[in-house]
Amino acid sequence: MKGLIGKKVGMTQLFDESGKAVPVTVIKAGPCYVTQVRTVDQDGYSAVQLGYEEVKPQRLTGGELGHLKKNDLPNLRYLREFRTDEAMEVGGEPLTVEVFTEGEMVDIVGRSKGRGFTGVVKRYGFSGGPKTHGQSDRQRAPGSIGAGSTPGRVFKGKRMPGRMGNETVTSQSLLISRIDPENNLIAVRGSVPGPKDGLVIIKEARKQ
């Protein structure tokens, strides 16, 4: 089962064999513990729940503490499920970055940076109104949002000002440039959604 939970460290660059600089994102991933196994007979689908990052018991709810204590697992802050058909057992040796190999493709799921309430120019790239010809307050306005008596309303889904970011985003088919098992680090080529120290999920690429 190829999947890990981790945190984004930041971006840097590596140099390939030809000496070309390659931008990479460094992720601290694992060790992750198998905290629960779901089966088709019992749950209707097969999946493995992984836990990541040991914390003080005060940081967890009573239900989470009981769930982990039942299998003699450490106090893990994050629990996430990964769909898989492989037979695995709860507990045992933790999963580390060595489940992946250099040169492999992965999908990385994260939560994008929240930008708050923004206008249409920042949110959707609208050009705004004219900068001359007498306009005084239409420079970053969206313009007309619909016709008059027909249809006499604004259509659902109209692009307008609102909250931007803080959404689940998946970066697909990122190449693993380097793996550091001693420090639990993975360097993937390109950018990864979310801020520094943001939680990310690394999975085997769906589009190979």
Which tens digit of pLDDT belongs to each residue from 146-158? 999 999 999 999 9
Residue 12: pLDDT above 90? yes
Q: What does each C-alpha distance from 148 to 42, 50, 145, 155, 177 come to in angstroms?
A: 57, 55, 10, 12, 56
- What is the structure's pLDDT at 23? 96
Quick check: 195 pLDDT over 90?
yes
The Cα angle at residue 13 between residues 11 and 14, in degrees rounded to 5 = 135
Q: What is the pLDDT of residues 35-46, one digit of tens each?
A: 999 999 999 999
Residue 118 has pLDDT above 90, yes or no: yes
What pLDDT is stored for residue 92 in this prediction?
A: 77
pLDDT value at position 87? 79
Which domains are assigned to the chain? 1-29+98-114+165-208 (2.40.30.10), 31-95 (3.30.160.810), 116-142 (no CATH)
Tell me, what's the pLDDT at 154?
Answer: 95
* Residue-averaged pLDDT of the chain: 93
Tell me the H-state helices in the chain: 40-43, 62-69, 120-124
> What pTM value is reported for the model?
0.85
In tens, the pLDDT along 164-185 reads 999 999 999 999 999 999 999 9
